[in-house]
Amino acid sequence: MEEKENNGKLKGDVQKINVLSILRKVALYLSPVFVYWVYASGKSFSSGYYSGYGISSNYFPGDSYNYLYNAFVGSSFLFFDVLNAFGEIASYFVPGILFFIMIISILTSYDDSRERKNKDGEEKKKSHFVIEGLATAFFAWIFVFVIILGAFFVFSIIYQFPISFYKYGEDYAIKEKDGYISCFSKPVKEREHECTCVYENDKLISAGNLVDVSKDWIAIYHADSVRGESPNGKVILTVGKSDFCESSIYLDKK
């Protein structure tokens, strides 16, 4: 008896080990696909984001952290879009499902009441067969419906993510632009890191929302009209740095 129990435990352990090894192999094979998905989706989101501000992504080459963050943000948008699509699809089917459940319940209760009154065994079997057939067809339909929804979810992720992530990035930038608060409209205490000031030779040449900064380029978004043109063509804002700057960039200091 003890040997049989030990053998049973060994078989269970072997099955667990086999399952774990299979999962590891699957994860190993799928890891390149996942890495590519993160890279492609993050890059698409970045390109759309810069496009929303009207600048080229070539000026700001992304790194792995940037792509990972953008892939996460875009994935959250994709998740809610797919969830909303599921909700719209389900809204067409839920009333029918509830109606079918109600019909099955009525037929079952009616059949039970007939069984108490009717003594004919064959008639009982026929009515049971009809109800069981309807119930089986109903649950089979539910199973197919779930499979279709799952396939739709996978298809949405695989097919739509390059285009969708670009659009998500573009919409994200447009939302930032629409929510931009002028550097001259409110004091610093009512904003958190809204304005970044750019100086050259201790002169303020630009201020606004910092979009991105690279080795050779700085992207600043602002919609302020209070500014003047300097003789060398650079824009100089007429407000001092102590009035509104949360952060500063000095072009002449390395």
Same domain? For 94 and 148 the reply is yes
Which of the pair, 32 or 246, is modelled with greater confidence? 32
Which of the pair, 197 or 14, is modelled with greater confidence? 197
Same domain? For 167 and 202 the reply is no
pLDDT digits (tens, 9 = 90+) for 52-77: 888 888 888 877 788 888 888 888 88
Same domain? For 87 and 140 the reply is yes
pLDDT digits (tens, 9 = 90+) for 202-246: 777 777 778 888 777 888 887 544 343 333 444 333 334 445 566
Same domain? For 232 and 140 the reply is no
Cα separation, 57 vs 165, in Å, equals 14
27 lies in a domain? yes
Same domain? For 36 and 140 the reply is yes
* Cβ-contact 75, 105 below 8 angstroms: no
Same domain? For 19 and 96 the reply is yes
Cα separation, 62 vs 93, in Å, equals 44
Q: Domain boundary at 178, 206, 227, which?
A: 178
Mean predicted confidence (pLDDT) in 148-171: 75
Same domain? For 87 and 166 the reply is yes
11-15, 174-178, 200-204: range with highest mean pLDDT: 174-178
Which of the pair, 66 or 101, is modelled with greater confidence? 66
- At 193 the pLDDT is 46
Strand partners, 197: 207, 248
Q: Which residue has 């352990």 as its token pair?
A: 13
Which of the pair, 149 or 57, is modelled with greater confidence? 57
Q: Domain boundary at 178, 210, 227, which?
A: 178
Q: Domain boundary at 178, 207, 224, which?
A: 178
Same domain? For 150 and 115 the reply is yes
Q: Tell which residue, 134, 80, 64, has the closest CA to residue 102.
A: 134
229 lies in a domain? yes
Q: DSSP string of 73-117?
A: HHHHHHHHHHHHHHHHHHHHHHHHHHHHHHHHHHHHHHHHHHHHH
Report the number of distinct structural domains present in the chain. Answer: 2
Q: pTM for this one? A: 0.59
137 lies in a domain? yes
pLDDT bin (cut points 50, 70, 90) of residue 247 is low
Same domain? For 58 and 174 the reply is yes
183 lies in a domain? no
Same domain? For 224 and 166 the reply is no
Same domain? For 32 and 134 the reply is yes
- Asked whether residue 51 carries a pLDDT value surpassing 80, the answer given is yes
Q: What are phi and psi of 207, to 5 degrees?
A: -155, 145
Amino acid of residue 64? S
99 lies in a domain? yes
Same domain? For 36 and 105 the reply is yes
pLDDT bin (cut points 50, 70, 90) of residue 108 is low
For the chain, report the end-to-end CA distance as a whole number of angstroms: 80
Domain region containing 27:
2-178
168 lies in a domain? yes
